[in-house]
């Protein structure tokens, strides 16, 4: 980078005067990202906003021209007339930690941080804590006073997005199970889910807007451009959600969740762990009982399968045959018949060396009558149920139907996690919010739904036509910010067919990351696979040591490589209207090592495979054909 555009390595933060209203700059440790603080009135008092800039060759591109700052308490407003009292001394945040599952095991929480001290017209204090990472930006609000109880009635954070910025957005829904839509402007005005993906115009930079480290002291937010089509405002839950109070109640001192923006080239977005990095460290001391893995799952092929003892045992046998450690007993296990009850099923599962997982209704909504209903609803109920599960030898629970993002429901999620930890029970959430960094704080939280997954082949014909494009968007959006229980890899059909190829479906076991990966097909869907595909699914992990985007573009195609130990797994999927010839390079492999490659690609039609066995090293490359809704999977094992 040209020296005249570089920021001083000796000073991360400094006050400058060459730009109207600009008061300070904070840069990332690698100097690639710069965040500037502005005062709209060009004084030390007024409305404040941030601007995000990204290094591109010999200049810094203006990526997000304006992020408005401010928050409203029930007693007063912290926006207009804010006086900048002090800029704190910059500090280097540097922390290494290990993740038990996810896209990468060894993590680095490294950023430059500064605290901006403000005072409003009533002399009340608001601090803004700002961090700039090599892969993004995070900031949060702080009320530093030592006492006082208030409610937050509004947050004024708003991201101004330039016209003609390409964007991928999902209409807000409390289950977070919609489809992403690609747009190049803000003409559609409504509420939007996190995360939201943008590609900066005339720049290699992409950015993904999200929030992280949400706790009991706030509600989950969303984005809305209803007032200004190109301004996406952080918006709190409304009164239309039927559970809980509409405003978050806080007690001082208080900090908001982080407003997080992952920034970089597309590969930087995919591999980023920023949402976890800014979240609180693990609250657990002993974690050997937390074991990611693959599970068989009967709901997709038989919606009432768990009521049938024989179906449950068939899926336990499937897990044995496929070398998967888990099987899930979904809803209605309390009504099991046809040869046995719950206790009989669990005894059978254990006799096969498989670990059972069990489904629960959150019980928060009386109109959802799926059973069992209320065993998670109170602390007393949970303790009673967890004691029972420990005696039965159940390793994890799936809790479904939250359907609100108000503070009361956020507390409920965390209550479940904290009680489950005491009994060494893994947890995953369905019908829920998008991840907010809790998998770092509570590493026994294995995965979340919050996605339009394969379950939607039960619900109607829509996913049949949209799945290929949808799958190629999720890898760059929803799955970036945390584990995603899509329930993938189906070769037969549910109520409505899929038209993605067998190669595409096989690849989803790598493309999609989930701490417990539920393979959704019926037993014969796996038993009838060719040996190579079946062997691949017996070996594919559910947790990873590293993740690399090899190639791709949202909604079009995706090629991701993930490492477990010394072995690599690659998934590639296509969504185009024509075949794609993908050049697969292996330059990510270590020097001086040869690998045995098993490459399982599309065959002559969508239900056929073409398999190759090769020796490769980092200088090798292979041409792979993907059908128009096709894909491929590859496994690389060190040649000893």
The 10s digit of each residue's pLDDT in 453-481 is 999 999 999 999 999 999 999 999 999 99
The CA–CA distances, whole Å, from 392 to 311, 334, 355, 357 equal 20, 14, 11, 11
73 contacts 153 by C-beta, under 8 angstroms: yes
Phi then psi dihedrals of residue 621, to 5 deg: -150, 155
Average pLDDT for 558-580: 97
pLDDT at 74 over 70: yes
Mean pLDDT score of the chain: 95
Q: With residue 268 as reference, give the H or E element that holds it.
A: helix 266-271
Q: Cα–Cα–Cα angle for 416, 420, 425, nearest 5°? A: 135
Reported as a single tens digit per residue, the pLDDT across 579-629 is 999 999 999 999 999 999 999 999 999 999 999 999 999 999 999 999 999
Which residues contact residue 323 at a Cβ distance below 8 angstroms, ignoring those fewer than 6 apart?
A: 538, 539
Provide the H-helix boundaries in 62-131. none
Residue 222 CB burial class (10 angstroms; 0-12, 13-18, ≥19): buried
Q: What pLDDT is attached to residue 438?
A: 98
Average pLDDT for 475-498: 97
Closest CA to 404 of 603, 172, 208, 635: 172
| The 3-state secondary structure of 507-562, one letter per residue | HHHHHCCCCEEEECCCHHHHHCCCHHHHHHHHHCCCCCCEEEEEEEECCCEEEEEE
Average pLDDT for 197-214: 97
Q: Where in the chain is the domain with CATH 2.70.98.10?
A: 3-277
Which residues contact residue 610 at a Cβ distance below 8 angstroms, ignoring those fewer than 6 apart?
A: 600, 601, 602, 603, 604, 625
Reported as a single tens digit per residue, the pLDDT across 237-276 is 987 676 778 889 999 999 999 999 999 999 999 999 999 9
Phi then psi dihedrals of residue 171, to 5 deg: -55, 135
Q: Where in the chain is the domain with CATH 3.20.20.70?
A: 293-450
Rounded CA gap, 294 and 322, in Å? 9
Phi then psi dihedrals of residue 456, to 5 deg: -70, -10
Reported as a single tens digit per residue, the pLDDT across 127-159 is 999 999 999 999 999 999 999 999 999 999 999
Q: What pLDDT is attached to residue 56?
A: 87
Phi then psi dihedrals of residue 381, to 5 deg: -65, -40
508 contacts 573 by C-beta, under 8 angstroms: yes
Locate 106 and state its tokens.
Answer: 């060894």
Instruction: Tell me which residue has tokens 């090629």.
Output: 559
Secondary structure (DSSP) of 288-317: TT---EEEEE-TTT-TTGGGBHHHHHHHHH
Percent of the chain scoring above 90 in pLDDT: 92
CA 296 from centroid of its chain's CA atoms: 22
435 contacts 514 by C-beta, under 8 angstroms: no
Report the length, in residues, of the chain: 640
Q: What pLDDT is attached to residue 45?
A: 80
Instruction: Tell me which residue has tokens 């390793």.
Output: 395
614-629: string of b/e by CB count within 10 Å (b at 16+)? eebeeebebebbbbbb
Residue 216 CB burial class (10 angstroms; 0-12, 13-18, ≥19): middle
Instruction: Please report which confidence band the pLDDT of residue 297 belongs to, taking 50, 70 and 90 as the band edges.
Output: very high
Q: With residue 505 as reference, give the H or E element that holds it.
A: helix 502-511
Q: What pLDDT is attached to residue 10?
A: 31
Rounded CA gap, 189 and 393, in Å? 50
The CA–CA distances, whole Å, from 538 to 80, 99, 142, 267 equal 59, 23, 48, 28
Locate 62 and state its tokens.
Answer: 């203006």
Locate 329 and state its tokens.
Answer: 């007993």
Average pLDDT for 408-420: 97
Q: Could you tell me which residues are beta bridge partners of residue 557?
A: 553, 574
Q: What pLDDT is attached to residue 20?
A: 53
Cis peptide before 372 (omega within 30 of 0): yes
Q: With residue 319 as reference, give the H or E element that holds it.
A: helix 309-321
Instruction: Please report which confidence band the pLDDT of residue 21 belongs to, taking 50, 70 and 90 as the band edges.
Output: low
Closest CA to 283 of 187, 351, 358, 215: 215
Residue 192 CB burial class (10 angstroms; 0-12, 13-18, ≥19): buried
Rounded CA gap, 195 and 286, in Å? 32
Q: What is the pTM of this model?
A: 0.95
The CA–CA distances, whole Å, from 459 to 494, 495, 496, 522 equal 10, 8, 8, 18
Rounded CA gap, 613 and 615, in Å? 7
- Tell me the CATH number of domain 293-450, given options 3.40.50.2300, 3.40.640.10, 3.50.50.100, 3.20.20.70: 3.20.20.70
Which residues contact residue 248 at a Cβ distance below 8 angstroms, ignoring those fewer than 6 apart?
A: 151, 152, 217, 218, 219, 236, 406, 407
Locate 15 and state its tokens.
Answer: 């006050």
630 contacts 534 by C-beta, under 8 angstroms: no
Instruction: Please report which confidence band the pLDDT of residue 14 belongs to, taking 50, 70 and 90 as the band edges.
Output: very low
Rounded CA gap, 321 and 70, in Å? 56
Which residues contact residue 205 at a Cβ distance below 8 angstroms, ignoring those fewer than 6 apart?
A: 54, 56, 61, 63, 199, 263, 264, 265
Fold of 3-277: Beta-galactosidase; Chain A, domain 5 (2.70.98)
Instruction: Tell me which residue has tokens 């806080």.
Output: 250
Rounded CA gap, 531 and 527, in Å? 9
Lowest mean pLDDT among 39-43, 325-329, 386-390: 39-43
Which residues contact residue 366 at a Cβ distance below 8 angstroms, ignoring those fewer than 6 apart?
A: none
């Amino acid at each position: 980078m040209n020296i005249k555009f570089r920021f001083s390595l000796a000073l991360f933060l400094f006050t400058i005067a060459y730009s109207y209203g600009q008061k300070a700059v904070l840069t990332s440790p690698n100097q690639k990202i710069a965040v500037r603080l502005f005062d709209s009135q060009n004084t030390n008092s007024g409305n404040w906003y941030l601007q995000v800039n990204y290094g591109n060759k010999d200049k810094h591109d203006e990526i997000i021209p304006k992020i408005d700052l401010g928050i409203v308490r029930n007693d007063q407003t912290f926006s207009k007339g804010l006086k900048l009292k002090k800029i704190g001394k910059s500090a280097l945040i540097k922390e290494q930690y290990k993740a038990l599952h996810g896209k990468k095991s060894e993590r680095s929480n490294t950023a430059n941080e500064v605290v901006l001290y403000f005072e409003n017209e009533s002399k009340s204090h608001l601090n803004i804590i700002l961090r700039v990472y090599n892969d993004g930006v995070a900031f949060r609000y702080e009320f530093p006073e030592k006492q006082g109880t208030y409610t937050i009635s509004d947050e004024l954070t708003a991201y101004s997005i330039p016209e003609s910025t390409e964007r991928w957005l999902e209409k807000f829904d409390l289950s977070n199970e919609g489809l992403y839509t690609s747009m190049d402007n803000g003409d559609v005005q409504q509420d939007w889910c996190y995360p939201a993906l943008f590609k900066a115009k005339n720049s290699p930079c992409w950015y993904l807007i999200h929030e992280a480290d949400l706790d009991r002291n706030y509600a989950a937010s969303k984005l809305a451009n209803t007032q200004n089509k190109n301004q996406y405002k952080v918006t709190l839950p409304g009164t239309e959600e039927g559970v809980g109070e509409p405003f978050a109640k806080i007690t001082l001192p208080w900090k908001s969740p982080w407003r997080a923006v992952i920034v970089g080239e597309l590969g930087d977005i995919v591999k980023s762990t920023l949402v976890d990095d800014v979240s609180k460290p693990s609250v657990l001391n002993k974690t050997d009982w937390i074991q990611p893995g693959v599970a068989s799952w009967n709901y997709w092929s038989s919606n009432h399968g768990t009521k049938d003892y024989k179906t449950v045992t068939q899926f336990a046998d499937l897990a044995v045959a496929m070398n998967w450690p888990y099987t899930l007993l979904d809803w209605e296990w309390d009504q099991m018949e046809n040869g046995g009850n719950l206790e009989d099923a669990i005894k059978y599962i254990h006799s096969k060396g498989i670990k059972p997982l069990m489904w629960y209704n959150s019980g928060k909504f009386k109109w959802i009558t799926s059973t069992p209903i209320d065993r998670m609803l109170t602390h007393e109920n949970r303790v009673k149920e967890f004691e029972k599960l420990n005696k039965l030898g159940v390793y994890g629970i799936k809790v479904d139907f939250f359907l609100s993002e108000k503070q009361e429901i956020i507390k409920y999620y965390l209550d479940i996690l904290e009680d489950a930890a005491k009994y060494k029970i893994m947890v995953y959430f369905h019908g829920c919010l998008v991840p907010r960094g809790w998998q770092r704080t509570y590493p026994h939280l294995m995965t979340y739904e919050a996605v339009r997954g394969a379950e939607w082949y039960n619900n109607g014909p829509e996913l049949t036509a949209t799945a290929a494009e949808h799958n190629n968007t999720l890898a760059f959006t929803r799955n970036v910010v945390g584990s995603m229980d899509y329930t993938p890899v189906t070769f037969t059909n549910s109520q409505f067919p899929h038209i993605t190829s067998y190669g595409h479906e096989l690849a989803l076991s790598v493309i999609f990351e989930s701490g417990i990966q539920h393979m959704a097909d019926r037993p014969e869907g796996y038993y009838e696979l060719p040996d190579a595909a079946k062997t691949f699914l017996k070996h594919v992990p559910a947790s990873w040591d590293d993740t690399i985007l090899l190639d791709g573009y949202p909604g079009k195609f995706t090629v991701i490589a993930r490492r477990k130990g010394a072995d690599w797994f690659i998934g590639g999927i296509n969504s185009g209207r024509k075949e794609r010839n993908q050049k697969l390079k292996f330059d990510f492999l270590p020097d001086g090592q040869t690998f045995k490659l098993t490459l399982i690609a599309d065959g002559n039609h969508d239900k056929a495979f073409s398999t190759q066995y090769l020796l490769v090293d980092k200088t090798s490359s292979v041409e792979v054909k993907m059908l128009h809704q096709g894909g491929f999977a590859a496994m690389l094992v060190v040649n000893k």
